[in-house]
Amino acid sequence: MTQIAFIGGGNMATSIIGGLIKQGDINPELIHVADPNPEQRQYLKENFAVNTHTDGKDAVVNADIVVLAVKPQVMKSVLISLADTLKQQRSLLVSIAAGVSTQSLQQWSGCEAVVRCMPNTPALIGLGATGLYATDAVTIEQRQLTDSLLRAVGTTAWLQEESDIDTVTAVSGSGPAYFFLLIEAMMEAGQQMGLSEEAARLLTLQTAAGASQLAQNADVNAAELRRRVTSPGGTTEQAILSFESSGFRSMVSTALNAAKKRAEELSKELAD
């Protein structure tokens, strides 16, 4: 009978709500969503039969879990406006906003039990990857509830240190864009070498999907999978050697470190 309130009913919140209801984990009547957009409220009500509100204060009343799905820039003002109710109820806060530290969330809300999450955009189709960090005040039961909440849209991984969230941001939070870039480059190269746009698109996308599924289902690591398809003196070997001689691994490491550094900078900016 857990009651969940969503502050913000955008794409990510909608995906989580849809995932929960699809799994049958919660009665829609126990979900309350606050969003300023009347069209979005109507969509949520019609498609998921949840309760919708214009004011966050109405949504959080009696909520066991409050999912914070608003833009990081407005998080402070939103939490300050809800603080009295949240403190009184001792609600668990689950934030999916990038860059806002648990310390800031605690300070603005007056709540000690906070879980900070970093999902990624494939959560929109139920294939997300989410890193989670919980403060010491979060109970085992609350961790389990949060885990089931985010597993409704994909895979979850719990982190030991909050600073690891910045690394998660670099690896999986921003990660889909890296794969999109590789897909884009392979499609362009295929066309330059004579494939039609449709053939290059179809073959590249299916190759990406197949490689991902193969890696997930295999009983060996990615390095071994790569070795198995790289015959000595063959075509794959030539492509791999070209990647390696161009400093591919170093390039990936540099890119991820740049993303992590920016995530750290944004956290500091939002805290000030």
Q: In the 8-state DSSP scheme, what is residue 42?
A: H
pTM of the full predicted structure? 0.89
CATH assignment, 4-165: 3.40.50.720
Same fold, 4-165 and 175-265: no
Burial class (CB in 10 A: 0-12, 13-18, 19+), 9: buried
CA 1 remoteness from chain centre: 26
pLDDT interval class at 269 (50, 70, 90) = confident
Over residues 6-23, the mean pLDDT reads: 92
Architecture of the domain spanning 175-265: Orthogonal Bundle (1.10)
What share of residues in the chain are helix, strand, coil (percent, to 5)? Answer: 60, 15, 25
Taking the C-alpha atoms of residue 32 and residue 56, their distance in angstroms, rounded to an integer, is 9
pLDDT interval class at 272 (50, 70, 90) = low
Burial class (CB in 10 A: 0-12, 13-18, 19+), 136: exposed
Give the other-Cβ count within 10 Å of 214's Cβ. 12
State residue 144's pLDDT score.
Answer: 94
Over residues 103-121, the mean pLDDT reads: 95
Domain boundaries, the chain: 4-165, 175-265
Over residues 163-186, the mean pLDDT reads: 96
State residue 233's pLDDT score.
Answer: 94
Taking the C-alpha atoms of residue 32 and residue 173, their distance in angstroms, rounded to an integer, is 26
Question: CA-CA distances (angstroms) from residue 76 to 97, 114, 192, 203?
Answer: 11, 15, 50, 46
Q: In the 8-state DSSP scheme, what is residue 173?
A: I
Kindly report, residue by residue over 52-74, the tens digit of the pLDDT: 999 999 999 999 999 999 999 99
pLDDT interval class at 268 (50, 70, 90) = confident
Over residues 221-230, the mean pLDDT reads: 96
pLDDT interval class at 1 (50, 70, 90) = low
For the chain, the first-to-last Cα distance in angstroms comes to 38
